[in-house]
């Protein structure tokens, strides 16, 4: 046996503030025996060593062969590490339990408060970082750039780590103080109230055992449920955070109300569409599907409006009725759309219905500089004995022809529908006959009747006019391309200017540093 035992025995006795006589009394030996053990003159028997280990929670091998303080230090480190891990796991567990036992409003307030605190800490860290960066630039501005960038990167990293750790610690501390500790307090009060209420429940009917409300603390708790809802505004949030939260909720409610107004307008449009849908009553399946789709869409719209208005005015929703109404309406909307699709399969698409077209003509005096056909390259020229020009065209019978004056020698024609009501009525009649007709006011089958000489003049004038247009457009495109190239070069020169300015500033700093070293 070495002298580690005697040294460890002294350390144990002194660490526990025991004299040799006190230790001897606890072990049932004389004071002289303790003195001899500590002086390494004699050694205790095995039963005494076992008693020492049991009394001071030691290992025999550690007591006889190792430095007991090092062993104790390692054990304390392990205990501290385990304690940190246990505290972290308990923090997570308590957080999960608290959130699962809070109502939706309390959850929103808690998360909102953490966001506000995190934003404030972020702004403070950014302000301090900006001021510190400016201060460092002024202090280390005279040192070489490479060394400056190295120091700047190191300090930036150190500050970033410090800012993150300190912000997290502050947020966690505030969160624990304001929520977790308060939650534990409330939970304890509720448990005590439940224990007290159990005695009173013996004289209550079974119907009165489901739920009780402590009006004093505004805490809702139910029998047979481990449920606690924190509703005490004096302890659950700060006044400024509560005011800010109310302000944001008010803004959200305002936009929600505006969106509900849009839904009201959409609902009115759906009712108008419902009335107009009876104009297609002869279409059979299409009409039935259209009615079902419009009615179901209107019901969905009403459900959404009620949800939004109940949120704005803090009213309760009849969730079951609304959910069933929404689901059934959604199913009916799908059925209606399916019937509409099936109904349209029996329709016939007619691109050019001759019954809706009419053929007319106008006459023009021939001029040597007359230009016609610029907007109608599909014009057909037909030789005739007419020295003037006769233009024949086809257009929708509910539309009229308009044309430009000959002030610039260019003659242009276009159609416009002056009576759209008759046109819509005709379309609906065709629709009830299960025909979809194309509706436009474009001119069709434009023909020009004149002499051979006039046709050549018109074609030549048209070609010259279009060539000038093409040349002008090509010139414009060329100028635009040149402008873009010059703009790119200008941007490059501006970039180089900034680079040269930065290089000049660096050279000035180096020159200043050299002059300072010479002095």
Per-residue pLDDT, 405: 64
Cβ neighbour number for residue 215 with a 10 Å cutoff? 6
CATH number of the domain enclosing 23: 1.10.260.40
Strands (E), 327-440: 348-350, 357-364, 371-372, 380-383, 389-396, 400-403, 410-411, 413-416, 435-437
Same domain, 116 and 222: yes
Contact 46, 52 (CB under 8 A): no
Same domain, 287 and 369: no
> Would 36 be classed as within a structural domain?
yes
Could you tell me the CA-to-CA distances from 496 to 188, 428, 486, 501, 504 in Å, in that order? 71, 68, 15, 9, 12
> Would 480 be classed as within a structural domain?
no
Same domain, 163 and 266: no
Same domain, 368 and 450: yes
pLDDT in tens, 394-437: 888 878 787 776 556 778 787 877 677 777 787 788 888 888 87
> Would 513 be classed as within a structural domain?
no
Per-residue pLDDT, 301: 94
The total number of structural domains that make up the chain? 4
> Would 263 be classed as within a structural domain?
yes
Same domain, 321 and 393: no
The parts of the chain modelled with pLDDT lower than 70 are 1-3, 59-84, 138-146, 194, 197-245, 352, 373-377, 405-408, 418, 515-519
* Dihedral angle, C-alpha 341, 344, 350, 351, nearest 10 °: -20
- Euclidean distance between CA atoms 159 and 132, whole angstroms: 10
Per-residue pLDDT, 62: 66
Residue 426 β-bridge partners:
none
> Would 24 be classed as within a structural domain?
yes
Tokens of 99: 């959130």
DSSP string of 10-77, one letter each residue? HHHHHHTT--HHHHHHHHTS-HHHHHHHHTTSS---HHHHHHHHHHTT--HHHHHHS-HHHHHHHHHH
Same domain, 129 and 229: yes
261: containing domain:
248-346
- Euclidean distance between CA atoms 25 and 7, whole angstroms: 20
Per-residue pLDDT, 234: 46
Contact 185, 228 (CB under 8 A): no
Per-residue pLDDT, 205: 52
Same domain, 380 and 361: yes
Same domain, 312 and 364: no
> Would 407 be classed as within a structural domain?
yes
Same domain, 113 and 61: no
Same domain, 52 and 175: no
> Would 79 be classed as within a structural domain?
no
Same domain, 45 and 169: no
> Would 271 be classed as within a structural domain?
yes
Contact 446, 374 (CB under 8 A): no
Same domain, 50 and 115: no
Per-residue pLDDT, 518: 62
């Amino acid at each position: 046996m070495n002298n580690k035992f005697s040294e460890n025995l002294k350390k144990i006795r002194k660490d526990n503030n025991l004299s040799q006589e006190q230790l001897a009394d606890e072990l049932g030996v004389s004071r002289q025996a303790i003195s001899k053990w500590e002086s390494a003159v004699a050694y205790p028997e095995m039963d005494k060593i076992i008693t020492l280990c049991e009394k001071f929670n030691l290992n025999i091998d550690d007591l006889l062969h190792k430095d007991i303080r090092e062993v104790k230090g390692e054990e304390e480190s392990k205990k501290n590490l385990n304690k940190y891990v246990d505290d972290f796991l308990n923090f997570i567990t308590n957080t999960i339990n608290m959130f699962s036992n809070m109502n939706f409003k309390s959850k929103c307030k808690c998360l909102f408060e953490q966001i506000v605190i995190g934003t404030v800490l972020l702004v403070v860290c950014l302000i301090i970082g900006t001021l510190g960066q400016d201060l460092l630039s002024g202090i280390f501005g005279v040192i070489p750039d490479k060394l400056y960038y190295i120091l700047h990167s190191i300090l930036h990293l150190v500050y970033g780590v410090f800012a993150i750790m300190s912000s997290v610690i502050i947020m966690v501390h505030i969160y624990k103080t304001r929520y977790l500790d308060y939650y534990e307090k409330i939970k304890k009060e509720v448990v005590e109230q439940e224990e007290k209420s159990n005695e009173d429940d013996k004289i209550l009917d079974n119907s009165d055992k489901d739920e009780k409300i402590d009006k004093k603390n505004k805490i809702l708790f139910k029998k047979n449920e481990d449920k606690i809802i924190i509703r005490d505004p004096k302890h659950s949030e700060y006044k400024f955070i509560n005011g800010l939260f109310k302000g944001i909720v008010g803004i959200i409610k305002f936009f929600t109300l505006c969106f509900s107004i849009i839904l009201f307008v959409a609902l009115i449009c759906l009712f108008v569409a419902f009335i107009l849908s009876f104009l297609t009553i002869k279409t059979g399946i299409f009409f039935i599907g259209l009615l079902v789709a419009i009615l179901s869409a209107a019901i969905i719209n009403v459900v959404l409006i009620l949800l939004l208005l109940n949120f704005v005015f803090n009213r309760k929703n009849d969730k079951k009725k609304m959910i069933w109404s929404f689901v059934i309406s959604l199913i009916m909307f799908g059925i209606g759309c399916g019937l509409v699709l099936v109904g349209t399969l029996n329709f016939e698409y007619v691109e050019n219905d001759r019954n809706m077209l009419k053929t007319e003509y106008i006459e023009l005096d021939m001029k040597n500089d007359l230009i016609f056909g610029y907007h109608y390259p599909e014009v057909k020229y037909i030789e005739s004995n007419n020295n003037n020009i006769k233009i024949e065209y086809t257009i929708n019978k509910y539309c009229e022809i308009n044309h430009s004056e000959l002030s610039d020698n260019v003659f242009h024609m276009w159609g416009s529908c002056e009576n759209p009501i008759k046109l819509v009525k005709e379309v609906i009649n065709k629709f009830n006959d299960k025909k979809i007709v194309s509706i436009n006011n474009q001119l069709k089958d434009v023909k020009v009747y004149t002499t051979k000489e006039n046709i050549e003049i018109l074609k030549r004038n048209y070609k010259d006019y279009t060539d000038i247009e093409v040349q002008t457009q090509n010139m414009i495109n060329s100028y635009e391309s040149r402008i873009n190239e010059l703009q790119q070069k200008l941007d490059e020169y501006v970039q180089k200017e900034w680079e040269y300015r930065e290089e000049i500033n660096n050279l000035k700093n180096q020159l200043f540093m050299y002059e300072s070293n010479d002095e």
